[in-house]
Amino acid sequence: MTKRNQAVGAYGERCAVRHLIGAGLRPVARNWRCPAGEIDIIAWDGPVLAFCEVKTRRTTHYGTPAEAVVPAKARRLRGLAARWLAETGTTAGEVRFDVLSVELPDAGAARVEHLKGAF
């Protein structure tokens, strides 16, 4: 991954966190990593614990950002969520998997779409 792509991704995650906070969610972890992978954002939405994948794109030539979350990625995120819950001892009555799709137009503000329960 190039430094430019890393910068775009980091900016998209910051936009996503601002969006979540503005929507009333309470982030508890960002960029949680283990040998099996990474969870971008973990946040409480009231009593629901949301595991969030953030996808950022400068263009939709290759599809929307959310379309990049393929079934294999969803399976990996489910496994990572189970590991995070086990390692932290966190209990949640309900768990949800969200996708935050961030589009960066050539001009103007980023557009964030929050797909709750995306998979």
Instruction: Please check the confidence at residue 1 and state whether its pLDDT lies above 80.
Output: no
Contacts of 112 (CB under 8 A, 6+ apart): 15, 16, 19, 100, 101, 102
Rounded distance, CA 92 to CA 68, Å?
Answer: 27
Q: What is the pLDDT of residues 29-75, one digit of tens each?
A: 999 999 999 999 999 999 999 999 999 998 888 888 999 999 999 99
Please tell me the predicted confidence (pLDDT) of residue 4: 84
| SS3 label, residue 61 | coil
DSSP-derived 3-state class of residue 89: coil
Kindly tell me if the per-residue pLDDT of 114 is higher than 90: yes
For residues 18-29, average pLDDT: 98
Residue range of the domain that includes 97: 3-115
Looking up residue 7, the CATH number of its domain turns out to be: 3.40.1350.10
* Total domain count, the chain: 1
Tell me, what's the pLDDT at 60? 83
pLDDT at position 59: 86
pTM score, whole prediction: 0.92
- Please write the tens of the pLDDT for every residue from 63-95: 889 999 999 999 999 999 999 999 999 999 899
